[in-house]
Each structure stands twice: as C-alpha cells, then as structure tokens.
A and B are shown apart, each in its own frame.
Chain A
Amino acid sequence: MPGPDPSRRVRLAVALFFAALLAAPLVYKRIETREKATQSAGVLSRYGFRFTESSKAAGIHFKHVSPKLDAKLHHIMPQVASMGAAVSIVDFDRDGWPDIYVTNSGEGTRNALYRNMHDGTFQDVASDVGLADLNAAGTGVSMGAVWGDYDNDGFDDVLVYKWGRPELFHNDGGKRFTRVTETAGLPPWVNANTAVWLDYDGDGKLDLFLGGYYPEDIDLWHLKTTKIMPESFEYAQNGGRKYLFHNLGNGRFEEVSAKLGIASRRWSLASVAADLRGTGFPDLFVANDYGVSELYLNEGGKRFREAGKETGIGFAPKSGMSAAVGDVFNQGRFGIYVSNISEEGVLVQGNNFWVPQPGATKTTIHFENMANSLGLELGGWSFGVQFGDLNNDGFEDLYVTNGDVSLDPNRSYWYDYSKVAGGNKAIISDAANWPPVDGRSLSGYQQKKVFVNDGSGQFREVAQLVGVTDVYDGRSVAIADFQNRGVLDAVVANQNGPLLLYRNTVQPGNNWIEFELEGQTSNRSAIGAQVRAFWNGQEQLQEVSGGSGFCAQNDRRLHFGLGKASRVDRVEIRWPSGKTQTIAAPELNRIHPVKEPS
C-alpha cells in the first residue's frame, strides 16, 4: 500500500488494538471461568436439585457390551460398533410404577427388564418374561426399544429394533411377551437406530416409524464389501431406508412409507413425533447423522411432506444424533432440540434448538436455531437428550449425555478421523480407506451436560455441580418419576459401560402435578395426546411420546413442575382422536390418572 508513513503514534495505537484483539478470547474465557466458579456453592439451594448415582443401591448391575462386526471392520471396530446402549421406560405390568428396559449389543448378551419393586430397587425379569435373549448370533443385535399398546389391550407392547431382525413382542397381560414379528409383517433385516410409535392417521391404532442407519441389505457380520460407509461426512444419502408401518389391526402392519411420501436414505439416528402445528396430527422429525435433519409435515393423516428447507431446519448439515421436543418458554409450543458433534479445535458443529417463529399456522411454520442464544449449544460429541423439569420450578430443563469412544485417554483418533471425513465420496465410503483406531479415543471421557432453565430464556450448564460426574460414553437417556414422588430421575445407558440411575433430590417447596393418560377412542397408550397446563400466566405444553432422544423413550406419564404456584388454573387435554377435555384446578402434588371420555 503506497503512501506516506504513518506516525509512530498511529503505529502504537494500532499495535495496541491488535494486542487487544488477540487478548479478547482469553479475557472472555476468564470471565466465563470466574462465573462458573462462583456458582459452585450451595448447589441444592441455587439450582434446586441434585443427582446421586444410585444404580448399585437400586440393584441395577447392567453393563453394555458392543458387538463384534465383520473382521473387515476390525481396524475401525470401536468407531463403527459404537451404538446399541439404549434405555426405555415403561410400566409393563401396569402396577403404577415405571420399569426400565435396557438393550445390550454383544452377540449372545442379554437385554434386561428392570421391574420397579416400589422400594427404590429394581429386579431384572427380562428372562422370565421373554425379553432377554434378543442378541443371538445370526439375528443381529439390539439397538433400542420403543413401547406402545398396538392392539389396545391395555398393556404396552414392545418393538426391539436392531442392526438385524426387528422384533415385535406382544405384552400378554404384563406377565409374558410373545414374539409376533412375522404376523406383524416386519421386514427380515433393518440396520435401524431409531423407531417411534405414532398414530399418524388418528384411527386409534398405533403405527410405527422405523429409521435405517446402514442400508438394510448389509449384514454387518458378513460383509461382501467394505464400501458400506457414508459417502460424505455431511451430505450422505446412502444410508438405510425408512419404514412407516400402518397398523391394520389384528396384529398386522402394512409398510406405507413410499405411498405417504417418506423416501429418504439419510443415515437416521433419531426420530420424534409431535404435533408441531396444532393440526391434530403428529409431524415427524428425523435427525440424521452425516447430513441435514428432515421434517415430515403430516398432511391430515393422509401423507407426509418433507419440509426441512421450507421450515428452515434443512440447511447447514451436521451430525444429528438425537432429537427431543420441549416447551422451554412455557408458551404452549414445542421447540426441537437436536444433538450434534463438537470437539474443541476440530469440529464445532454445535447442537441445534429449533424454535418455531411467531406467526406459525397450521400450514406454515418456520424454525430458527436458538441454541446459541439460549446457552444450549456446546455438548461435546452429544448423543441422548431429554427435556424434563428437573427441579420442579415450572420450566423444562435439558439433560444431554455425550462421548463417543473412550479408549486410551492420551491418544486421540480425531486427526485420522478428520482425514477421511474431509475426503471425497470414493475415499470416505470405503472402510478400507479409514485409518485404524488403534486403541485411541474419539471424543472420549467427556463431561456430561445438564442445562438448567432459568425461566427467562437462558440455560446454565450445571452437570458437574449437580452430581452428574460420570465420563462414560453416554448414548441413551430416559427420564421418569420412578418413586412416584413428583421428582424426575434420569437413567443413562452407556456404550460399553454400566447403566446409570441418577436419583434426583429436589429442594422441598416446589409443587408438581402428573398425568397418566389412557385412551379409549384414541390409542390406549395415549401416544400423541397433548396436555397444556395453565398456571400463573404460564402455559406449558407436553405430549405423550412414543419415543424420543437417542434410542430412548421416557415414561409416558407427563410431569409438570409448578414452582411455588399453589394452584393450576386448568389443564387442557387434546386426545389423538381430536376430543378435548378440560380439568379445572386439579389437585397439586399428585398423579392424576385420566381416561379419555367416551
């Protein structure tokens, strides 16, 4: 740049400005650290809850084992065989106490069904009821399970989805489970990582969405080729197909995905169904690894229309791992939280929280990612997420578990992983081109995230402060009030790790209310029923879910924290059948069983 020499004063001023620029991140970091340090005192009084890991005391001694896939994948086995630890909550015997089903994934390992013994302990009864032996060689291994009463007999049935043969079991009165896979008409092999029960057409019978990860023609134990990997790290469309099974009644299902407009081969890892627009029909959100998420808008129960781009969520591809819906502002509308990957200095995708913008109608809805402004963005290599009011203050909080592969803590696979991740389709899609993991960690030993909602649009991350201190490779999180005491506990399934039960202690003084719904015209599990609680000018929306998070399902019972409110004005229930019901001033601090009016 020609011209006169600048004065010494100008040079000095610009040099100081330059130094200030370089120092800015360090100052920012220091302020953040100082803020966190001042928060550590008086956790219970400050945040209103504290978790205590209590699995052993509760009689839970479950350890997940990863599968051993084809030897052609031996060099990257820890990375590819890194899923399958899953947990779902169900009251399978209808005794009024939530039970826990947890999947294992080693060949020949057994799944567990922990019956709630009502005294704070659990007992594994999976073998007794016929739900343990699901990982036999040749049939694939379990990836997750979702519960729903598909035949409306009053007992929740279970779909166990696998990298392998999906299995549907009928619940015989809470005493035994009968395998009904063939009668139901399920496909012989799906490499699935997500499933969700939903009644998409409102006919009172639960339908089923099943999302493939690897293509369904791949048997991961008998590979014909090593070209099975995603064709791109963020634009892959060579994954497994999607299935939508329409419940025909009589225990039979018809596959209708193509007919109804669901045709995708993205690598699905999570799905959640919820009525996002108030149409009375559930929309379907699918979080995909190696690509953008998809939002299937339900058009009157007759077909689905993929509206990712139209609604704003279909841009900026990331690594969708998990999805859950929550009404964090108490405005009576759902946002969708999607977990992704963030690794310091390597890949900072950030998690997404898609919040519907004002002016949404039944035909038009647009979302904006507000994870950053709410403080919900960074969660490491995030997997399972769930919303729930953990301190009963009247606002939903968020639990995020994380960590991919924890092996040698001092050696990282990230560099070699990033080499192929940036490579062209011809390179990345062939497992033979992937450098060996060689005992190294990939975002291992990560600290978990518990985000507390302060009620004014900000979340504060407090996991270490409230007792969530494990560093296992977390996969699946589910939330339930296991002791029927108005407090949400958390269960976490860890890959190659133990099942953890985080028992919650909530500071006394906050009120709560819970609803256990049972459909009559609607599906009996009441999946899809929406409950709005109104108190002190607040309006919180929750929906009974047939699966959410990563390979998880919360208890179907809905829990509302109420803070210091001494009264709930009313509760409005909209059943999947379209019927509405209002309960005026329901009694606080108790569980309300509610039957759909006939």
Chain B
Amino acid sequence: MKLENRYLPPLLITAILLVSQVSFGVLESFSRTLLAIATAMLCELLLARLFYHKWPVLASAYITGISVGILIRSPEYWPFALTSAIAITSKYVIRWRGRHLWNPSNFAICAMLLIAPEYIATLSIQWGNAIWPMLVVWVLGAVITWRVKRFHITATYVASFIALAFVRTLITGHPFLAEVAPITGPMYQLFIFFMITDPKTTVRSVRGQCVVAFFVAVAEMLFRLAHNVDAPYYALTCVGPVAMLLDVKVERPG
C-alpha cells in the first residue's frame, strides 16, 4: 500500500498532463517538458550517487521535472533544463540538519523568475474553457491527497485562499470572482496538490501543516496586494523554509 501511495502523485500529474495535452494542446511542445523531466531525473541520479552512493527512487524527481515542464513557459529550451537542474541541485545544497528546506520546483521557479524574467513566465491561463476538466482534476487530486494523508493541507489552503480573496475584495474593491479566479486555473491544481503537500518540505504535525498552509495563503495575499503575478510561488518560498527551520528546531532543539 505504501509503495502504491508513493506512485499515486506521479500517476496523477502524468494523467493531468496527458489528458490536458491531448484535449487542449496545453504545452508549447512535449519536447520541452520531456527535457525538464529528463534533466531532473538525470540530476537526481548523479547527485544521489555522488552523495549517497545509491540509486535513488526517481518518483520525486519525476514530479519535479513534470511540474517544471508544465509550470514554466518559455519559447527557449534551456530554461526548462536549467530550472530542473536548479530544482534538484537545491535539494542537495540547501539543507539544514539533513532536511531540505524548499520544495525544489518551487524554489527553482522563483529563482528563475528573479534571475531570468525575460526568458520565462509561469503558467497563468486556463486549460480549455469547460468546467468539467477542472472538476475531474480537483476530485482526482482530492482523492489522491486523501489517500496519501495530505488532503488537510490542500483543504486548509483552499479555504484560506477563498476567505482571503474576500478580504482582498474588501481592500481592492475588485469583484470577488476576479479575486477567486486564479484558483480555478491549472497552475493552482499543481500548486495545491503537489507543491504545498510535498512530504519532504512540510512540517511533521498535522496541525502544523494546516498552520503552514494558512500562512502560505496569507503571504500570498500580501504578494497579491503588491500586484505580484507569481504570488503563490513566492509565498511558499518565503513561508516554507521558515516553517521547516522551526520544525527542525522543535524536533532537535539546540
């Protein structure tokens, strides 16, 4: 059962990608996404051998690669390879007491947005225009995060986002639906099912995970009020490592 669960997220993300590409042609090209996946897996293989002298399980690198392949948009090829390489390498370089602090793809995307904004952007549009694909992904995602015992994180984040969208409406005067709109996009489907639930970069307690999800939503609201189009990525990048450091500290004081 444990093995099955480990492979559920990769299976889900692959299904999302294939269905979306076949139905709507969402990718600039398969080749760029494959490049991102291949680079992530290759880096993982090399670094795991180098660091631990073992062959790693590549499920996590696969998710990183496919996330990068879907979430970044660029007409060039090299940003896909570079983002994946940064993502995987960050896991090995930026560590604290044996744990890595950032979700790898989230960290790499933020890094690329900061250092190469003229070459990349993030996925910011709908896939298709019907509501049923969105519902299918949400239901499937919810079932799978439930099975891997991460649904509370997703649920907390979504509830917080919607509540804070209402707060933003009060502050900006913009329609509530405009503030809620982003979460209906595919970028958020990847964000809430794969990034914020990443077992390696979430704190240990269930309550702590919910609190962190809430603070990610709060940080995102602040970025949104500052008109940052990549608010969720930056929010997770800011809140995630703070939570991880506190968690490590609580786990092993001193």
Q: Which residues of A contact B (CB under 8 A)?
A: 1-4, 6, 10-11, 14-15, 17-18, 21-22, 24-26, 29, 231-237, 292, 314-317, 342-350, 371-372, 377-378, 412, 414-416, 418-428, 430, 432-436
If the complex has contacts A22-B115, A348-B119, A415-B229, are A423 and B25 also in contact, measured as CB distance less than 8 A?
A: no
The distance in angstroms between the C-alpha atoms of A415 and B174, with both chains bound, is 13
Q: Closest CB of chain A to B178's CB: distance in Å?
A: 5
Contacts of A236 in B (CB 8 A): 129
CB-based contact B177/A18 at 8 Å: no
Say yes or no: B126 contacts A235, CB within 8 Å.
yes
Which residue of the partner chain, among B47, B89, B118, contacts A21 with CB atoms under 8 Å?
B89
B74 adjacent to chain A (CB < 8 Å) = yes
Q: Do B51 and A427 touch across chains, with their CB atoms under 8 A apart?
A: no
Check B177 against A3 for contact (C-beta < 8 Å): no
CB contact under 8 A between A18 and B82, given known A234-B125, A236-B129, A422-B126:
no
Which residue in A25, A412, A432 is a CB contact (below 8 Å) of B119?
Answer: A25
Q: In the complex, A26 Cα to B117 Cα: how many Å?
A: 11
Contact check, B90 vs A18: say whether CB atoms are below 8 A apart. yes
User: C-beta contact mask, B105-127 vs A, less than 8 Å → 1, else 0?
Assistant: 00000011101111111001111
A71 to B47, CA, bound (A): 60
B5 within 8 A of A: no
Q: In the complex, A3→B92 CA distance in Å?
A: 13
Q: Which residue of B56, B172, B181 contacts A423 across the interface (Cβ within 8 Å)? A: B181
B85 (CB) vs chain A CBs: closest residue: A21
Q: A10-B51, A234-B126 are in contact. Are A21 and B82 (CB under 8 A)?
A: yes
B96 interface residue (CB < 8 Å to A):
no
Q: In the complex, which residues of chain B have a beta carbon less than 8 angstroms from the beta carbon of A420?
A: 178, 181
Q: Measured between C-beta atoms, what is the minimum distance from B112 to chain A in Å?
A: 7
| C-alpha gap A25/B74 in the complex (Å) | 13
Does B93 lie at the interface of the complex (its beta carbon under 8 Å from any beta carbon of A)? yes
Residues of chain A contacted by B112 (CB below 8 angstroms)? 25
Contact of A348 among B73, B127, B227, B228 (CB under 8 A): B73
A-B contact pairs, 12 of them (CB 8 A): A1-B56, A18-B90, A22-B115, A25-B112, A344-B117, A346-B124, A348-B119, A378-B118, A415-B227, A415-B229, A418-B229, A432-B175
Give the CA-CA distance A226 to B229 in the complex, in Å. Answer: 25
Shortest CB distance B51–A (Å): 4
- Chain B residues within 8 Å of A347, by CB: 73, 121, 124
Is B181 in contact with A433, judged by CB distance below 8 angstroms? Answer: yes
Residue B24 at the A interface, CB < 8 A? yes
- B2 contacts chain A at the CB level, 8 A cutoff: no
Q: Which of B85, B120, B125, B224 contacts A422 (CB 8 A)?
A: B125
Looking at A234, A378, A414, which has the most chain B CB atoms within 10 Å of its CB? A234
A6 touches B180 (CB 8 A): no
Alpha-carbon distance between A314 and B124 when the two chains are bound, in angstroms: 20
A435 engages B172 (CB within 8 Å): yes
**Shortest beta-carbon contacts, A-B, top 10:** A423-B181, A3-B52, A350-B75, A345-B117, A232-B129, A422-B185, A25-B116, A415-B227, A424-B184, A315-B25
Complex: A436 Cα to B174 Cα, angstroms: 8
A94 to B121, CA, bound (A): 50
B125 pairs with A233, CB closer than 8 A = yes
Considering only residues 71-94 of chain B, those with a C-beta below 8 Å from chain A are 73-76, 82, 85-86, 89-90, 92-93
Tell me which residues across on chain A come within 8 A of B8, comparing CB atoms: none
Please state if A17 and B89 are interface contacts (CB–CB under 8 Å): yes
A316 CA to B73 CA, complexed, in Å:
11
Residue of A nearest to B129 (CB): A232
- Asked whether B184 lies within 8 Å of A6 as measured between CB atoms, the reply is no
Q: Which of A344, A418, A419 has the most CB of B within 10 A?
A: A419
Q: Which residues of B contact A237 (CB under 8 A)?
A: 129
Whether A25 touches B82, Cβ cut-off 8 Å, given contacts A421-B124, A424-B184, A432-B175, is yes
Chain B residues with Cβ below 8 Å from A22 are 86, 111, 115
Cα distance A180–B126 in the bound complex, in angstroms: 44
Q: Which of B47, B118, B127 has the most CB of A within 10 A?
A: B118
Could you tell me the distance between the alpha carbons of A109 and B230 in the complex, rounded to whole angstroms? Answer: 42
Given A25-B116, A345-B117, A414-B229, decide whether A424 and B172 contact each other with a Cβ distance below 8 A. Answer: no
| Given known contacts A2-B52, A14-B47, A424 and B25 CB-to-CB distance under 8 angstroms | no
With a CB–CB cut-off of 8 A, which chain B residues contact A292? 25
Query: Are the C-beta atoms of A433 and B175 separated by less than 8 Å?
Result: yes
Q: Nearest A residue to B91 by beta-carbon distance?
A: A1
- Beyond A25-B112, A235-B24, A427-B181, 20 extra complex contacts between A and B, CB < 8 Å: A1-B56, A3-B51, A14-B93, A18-B90, A25-B119, A26-B115, A232-B126, A233-B125, A236-B129, A237-B129, A317-B24, A343-B121, A345-B117, A348-B121, A377-B75, A419-B179, A419-B181, A423-B177, A424-B126, A424-B181
Contacts of B184 in A (CB 8 A): 422-424, 427
Q: Which residue of A lies closest to B113 (CB)?
A: A345
In the bound complex, residues from chain B placing their C-beta under 8 Å from that of A6 are: 50-52
- With a cutoff of 8 Å between Cβ atoms, the chain A residues found around residue B26 in the complex are 316
B22-55 with Cβ < 8 A to chain A: 24-29, 47-48, 50-54
Question: If A3-B52, A21-B82 touch, does A346 touch B229 (CB 8 Å cutoff)?
Answer: yes
Shortest Cβ distance from residue B114 to the other chain A in the assembled complex, whole angstroms? 9
CA distance A349 to B85 in the complex (A): 23
CA distance A292 to B28 in the complex (A): 12
Contacts of A418 in B (CB 8 A): 124, 182, 229
Does B131 reach chain A (CB closer than 8 Å)? Answer: yes
List the B side residues contacting A315 at CB < 8 Å: 25
Min CB gap A461→B, angstroms? 13
Contact present for B174 and A425 (CB under 8 Å) = no
Which B residues are CB-close (under 8 A) to A433? 175, 177-178, 181
Q: Is the CB of B73 within 8 A of A21?
A: no
Distance, CA A342 to CA B50, complexed state (A):
40
Q: Is B187 an interface residue (CB 8 A)?
A: yes
Known contacts A14-B93, A344-B117; A435/B126 CB under 8 A: no
Instruction: For the complex formed, measure the closest distance between the CB of B232 and the CB atoms of chain A, giving whole angstroms.
Output: 11
Complex-state Cα separation, A430 to B176, whole angstroms = 13
CB pair B126 A233 closer than 8 Å: yes
Counting CB contacts under 8 A, is B142 at the interface? Answer: no
Residues of chain B within 8 A (CB-CB) of A426 are: 131, 177
B129 contact set on A, CB distance < 8 A: 231-232, 235-237, 424-425
Shortest beta-carbon distance from B233 to chain A in Å: 12
Q: CA of A423 to CA of B125 in the docked complex: distance in angstroms?
A: 7
Residue of B nearest to A425 (CB): B129
For residue B218, CB closer than 8 A to chain A, the reply is no
Structural contact, A422 and B182, CB atoms closer than 8 A: yes
- Beyond A422-B124, A422-B185, A425-B130, is A435–B229 a contact (Cβ under 8 Å)? no
Closest to B56 in A: A1
With beta carbons under 8 angstroms apart, the residue of A235, A343, A421 that contacts B128 is A235
Given A18-B93, A232-B126, A316-B28, does the pair A424, B131 have CB atoms closer than 8 Å? yes
Quote the shortest CB–CB distance from B218 to chain A (angstroms): 18
Q: With the chains together, A339 CA to B76 CA distance in Å?
A: 16
Asked if B12 CB lies within 8 Å of chain A CBs, one says: no
Which residues of chain A are within 8 angstroms of B120 by Cβ–Cβ distance? 345, 348
For A3, give its contact among B53, B119, B121 (CB under 8 Å): B53
Which residue from chain A places its CB closest to the CB of B48 in the assembled complex?
A1
Distance in angstroms from B166 CB to nearest chain A CB is 15
Min CB distance, B164 to chain A, in Å? 14
Q: What residues of B have a CB within 8 angstroms of the CB of A378 in the complex?
A: 75, 118
Contact A419 B182 (CB under 8 A): yes
Residues of A within 8 A of B187 (CB): 422
- Contact: B93 with A425, CB < 8 Å? no
Q: Which residue of B lies closest to A348 (CB)?
A: B121
Nearest Cβ on chain A to B71's Cβ, whole angstroms: 13
